[in-house]
Amino acid sequence: MRGIKDRVAIAGMGCTKFGELWDKSEEDLMVEACHEALADAGLESKDIQAAWYGTNYTGFTGQMLAHALKLDYIPVTHVENACATATDAFRNAAYAVAAGIYDIVLACGVEKLKDTGYTGLDMTRFLPDGSKVAMTPRVPPPSQFALSAVRYFHTYGLSYDEGKRVLAKIAVKNHHNGTLSPKAHFRREITEEQAINAPILAYPLGLFDCCGVSDGSAAAIITTPEIAAGLRKDKDHVLVKGLGLTVGSRQGTLQDDYDFVHFEENVTAARIAYEDAGITNPREEIDLASVHDCFSITELIIYEDLGFSPRGRGREDVEAGTFELTGKLPVNTDGGLKCFGHPVGASGLRMIYEVYKQLQGKAEGRQLSKADIGLTHNLGGVPGSFSSAVTILGRAA
Amino acid sequence: MAGITSYGAYVPLWRLKRDEIRPGLAGERAVANFDEDSITLAVAAATDCLRGIDRGTIDGLFFASTTSPYREKQAASIVVAACDLRHDVITADFTNSLRAGTAALRAALDAVKAGSAKRVLVVAADCRTGMPGSDLEANGGDGAAAFIVGDTQVAVSIDDYYCVSSEMLDVWRADDDPYTRTWEDRFVVTQGYLKLVQEAVGGLSKKAELEPKDITKAVFYAPDARRHQEMARGLGFDPKTQVQDSLFEPMGNTGAAFCLMMAVAALEEAKAGDTILLASYGDGSDAFILRVNEEIGRIGGNLGMKGHLASKLPVPDYHTYLRWRGILTTEAVRRPMTEPPSPAAMWREQDRNIHLLGVKCQVCGTTQYPPQRLCTRCRTQDRFDTVRLSDKKAELFTYSKDALAGTMDNPLVIAVINFEGGGRMITMMTDRDLDEVSIGMPLEMSFRKLGTQGGIHNYYWKCKPVRNRG
């Protein structure tokens, strides 16, 4: 079995500003993200041979993307995999190129959430039986992850104050990084005290433990390494080194021995991606990571799931500053979901956009001195039942 | 011989001091939580009554209430499903009268005597809500009583009864009235209550050849505490020794369930050989003679009236009570309205949502909820035993307290619970004291209403802290 390593490349990327974009429609967002990606690659929309359209809430069928970009009778596939949608769209596009079916393809994720009338996510969506309203309780996302936070504190003997302090440090870091990202939704520093004392949304998670709900779009042009090298004069295209996607079968909600303090889907998705990329010691070999910090507790658990920190000891790395911009393994250099924002179906491609820019040395005020291998991690679902996607990207030269 | 083979009761956890309704009033009224109604109260009392009893032996369920949540649609069938009884049972709703509870009891007795059923579960439940500030509101209460009427293992035989019917508008509520109306108090009491109950009790005494001195304890309905005393004297009983306490002080008038809840309280203190008089009121009166035998010692282990009355929490204030009853509507959460659930889906999924059935894999032994086609652990297809989870104890594994979920018990406690004997469920916690919520706390299941949309009451099982025995 051949893996994906070095078989496809990213030739161009685009990303809109994320935020409460009251004056922009999904069409505006797709046109802006995709045309930035096309311009970055030096291509036009007629060069695209196939496309993958990722969204959870914003329209149905690939026609959404075809209509916005006026694509000309090419195949467009709608991809949906909860909050891991955009990475899955990217993954399918990459495999199509690796299979030799197409030379140049587009992956675009978009979400227009701020028209729903909800400050958070509209929880009446995604009912498996097709009915519009659930018969059983719909647990809002902050509570779903609060279940993990309560259990994490309990399992590792953290008092409420100690636990909140660790989570606050993660939020402070992401807020700082957000100030250095012109396209981020939230761009202001916060203090640990502000984070700890903020209103509780779902105990123990407060306002600053939860990511923003945003509008936005991001897109990637995926092609072969050879074509990418021809398109980019500086040879600064980015190679896909590994792709891992795993989907749980709700083991954690059905089996009463699931612990709520690790996400098995993350562990298995990372294992697949690391094998693809030949990574054996992620903490040492990866230069930066853009991970799914939908909540501060999620980021803490991800450190451990992806092998950045030993199990139960993410706190030590947080306190040592390991994941700050100046640390050994900077995480969420653009502010993450917390501050860049979370337009659900676009977020995976936004993560790839940040790593792509860092590997190219074009991340402006937040540019890392060493950025050769980067990781993105995109997570959909709730503890006990996830879709998890991990991508490893590397510099071509 | 036919009569009562088991009894149970349910008083909601919450009590509102009458002083909150009108300064100076004594005592408190029992208040159903915002997610309770007469159907959920009935399920709770039925569960209390069914403790230790094989539910497959119940042949019928009669539900009685003046406040059935549906104007057209049987409540009894919902109680049957929630109690996970057989479906080849006789069911009926007795409604529209304060006398509905004893009407159901009498009909159950007749059914057993006629041989149409061996064991009938009778449940009377009411949520008595009056116009804000009214006597009805202050004197009212919420609660339920349940009896199994059968012809074997009878602990309390129902030896005789006497009924009178009366046409008068004393207490009534028209089809489109939000609150119960009453005519002038003097008319209601002198021409209705006092006259009719005395007529029924007199008729029964004559028929059964009984005098007041033959009665160990008299249990009878009353609209308020003062009338209860007046009736005791009128019937010739010694209020100190022969009359069951009216429960106005700790609970209030629970309508169609009221005298039956008092009867449960009386039976909790009764001993073999006791003779109990039971009389209801409402559009007439039903009077019964109950005789207690040795089997009474077999019944127990449930909370009953005593346990439920002793276990309580205060409703914070009158404003909260008004919100719980939907009298005062407040902005729950700034979100678009949701639509009602699909009746077809509700019907299809009732085993998991209403009966609360899980499954246990016959191959690997994993208990799982909700039921699966393939085992979550060993993937074996369709080889499961059914496990009823509604009567299992559980333990809190983890939780959150959600300030934005938009329910009335803000913050909403979301709970991951593990059942004794296996199985996990993610559900809401109700009747909780926020300070006591902690990992490992013991829990039990409670049938509650998640919400009402489009005229559909959506019931489900929540967990709650185990109610202590006082």
pLDDT 10s digits, A232-279: 999 999 999 999 999 999 999 999 999 999 999 999 999 999 999 999
CB atoms closer than 10 angstroms to residue A302? 24
Searching chain A, which residue's CA lies closest to the CA of residue B335? A118
Q: What is the pLDDT of residues A308-332, one digit of tens each?
A: 999 999 999 999 999 999 999 999 9
B 2-31 residues with CB < 8 A to A: none
Pull the structure tokens for residue B182.
Answer: 């009453």
CB A290 within 8 A of CB A375: yes
Residue B336: predicted pLDDT: 59
Give the separation between CA B450 and CA B83, rounded to whole angstroms: 18
Give the separation between CA B257 and CA B280, rounded to whole angstroms: 10
Q: Indicate if ipTM > 0.85.
A: yes
Any A CB within 8 A of B341 CB: yes
Partners of B464 in beta bridges:
B444
Give the separation between CA B426 and CA A255, rounded to whole angstroms: 12
Partners of A145 in beta bridges:
none
Searching chain A, which residue's CA lies closest to the CA of residue B411? A202
- Characterize B331-341 residue by residue with b for buried, 16 or more Cβ atoms within 10 angstroms of its Cβ, and e for exposed: eeeebeebebb
Give the separation between CA B64 and CA B75, rounded to whole angstroms: 9
CB B259 within 8 A of CB B103: no
What residues contact B202, with CB distance under 8 A and at least 6 apart? none
Helix (H) or strand (E) holding A261: none
Q: Residue A36 phi/psi, 5° resolution?
A: -65, -40
Pull the structure tokens for residue A366.
Answer: 């937040």
Give the separation between CA B142 and CA B20, rounded to whole angstroms: 17
Q: Among A124, A129, A147, whose Cβ lies nearest the Cβ of B416?
A: A147
- The two beta strands, A288-290 and A205-206, are unpaired
CB B48 within 8 A of CB B11: no
Q: How many A/B residue pairs have CB atoms within 8 Å?
A: 130
Interchain contact, A124 vs B369, CB within 8 Å: no
3-state secondary structure at position A271: helix
Question: What are the pLDDT tens digits along chain B (470 aa)?
Answer: 899 999 999 999 999 999 999 999 999 999 999 999 999 999 999 999 999 999 999 999 999 999 999 999 999 999 999 999 999 999 999 999 999 999 999 999 999 999 999 999 999 999 999 999 999 999 999 999 999 999 999 999 999 999 999 999 999 999 999 999 999 999 999 999 999 999 999 999 999 999 999 999 999 999 999 999 999 999 999 999 999 999 999 999 999 999 999 999 999 999 999 999 999 999 999 999 999 999 999 998 899 999 999 999 999 999 999 999 999 987 655 555 567 888 998 999 999 999 999 999 999 999 999 999 999 999 999 999 999 999 999 999 999 999 987 778 899 999 999 999 999 999 999 999 999 999 999 999 999 999 888 899 999 999 999 998 44
Angle at A113 between CA A107 and CA A119, to 5 degrees: 145
Q: List strand residue ranges (DSSP E) for B45-180, in order.
A: 60-65, 90-95, 119-127, 142-150, 156-165, 171-172
Q: Among A136, A201, A384, whose Cβ lies nearest the Cβ of B403?
A: A201
Q: Among A116, A154, A253, whose Cβ lies nearest the Cβ of B439?
A: A154
Contacts of A133 in chain B (CB under 8 A): 338-342, 453
Pull the structure tokens for residue B65.
Answer: 């209430």
Residue B469: predicted pLDDT: 47
* Alpha-carbon A331 to chain mean position: 12
- Alpha-helical segments (H) within B133-236: 135-139, 185-187, 194-208, 225-235
* Region for B138 from its dihedrals, namely left if φ exceeds 0, alpha if ψ lies in -120 to 50, beta otherwise: alpha
Residue A332: predicted pLDDT: 98
Calculated CA dihedral for residues A165, B411, A292, A363, nearest 10 degrees:
-70
Count how many Cα atoms sit within 13 Å of the Cα of residue B124 in the half-sphere of its side chain.
33
Length of chain A: 397
Q: Residue B112 phi/psi, 5° resolution?
A: -70, -45
Query: Which residue ranges in chain A fall short of pLDDT 50?
Result: none
Interchain contact, B339 vs A132, CB within 8 Å: yes
Nearest to B264 by CA among B228, B219, B222: B219
Give the separation between CA A284 and CA A276, rounded to whole angstroms: 17
CB A127 within 8 A of CB B349: no
Give the separation between CA B370 and CA A136, rounded to whole angstroms: 11
CB B218 within 8 A of CB B243: yes
Q: Among A146, A251, A258, whose Cβ lies nearest the Cβ of B400?
A: A146
Interchain contact, A136 vs B460, CB within 8 Å: yes
Interchain contact, A200 vs B411, CB within 8 Å: yes
Residue A296: predicted pLDDT: 98
Best of B400, B402, B412, B424 to disrupt the A interface (most A CBs within 10 Å) is B400
- The two beta strands, B394-402 and A200-203, are antiparallel
Residue B329: predicted pLDDT: 82
Residues of A marked active site are found at 83, 342
Interchain contact, B341 vs A131, CB within 8 Å: yes
Residue A397: predicted pLDDT: 79
> Prior bond to B370 cis, omega within 30?
yes
Helix A296-305 vs helix A160-179: crossing angle, to nearest 10: 90
Best of B360, B402, B459, B462 to disrupt the A interface (most A CBs within 10 Å) is B402
Any A CB within 8 A of B440 CB: no
Give the separation between CA B458 and CA B461, rounded to whole angstroms: 10
CB A55 within 8 A of CB A345: yes
Tell me the one-letter amino acid at A179. Answer: T
Residue B408: predicted pLDDT: 86
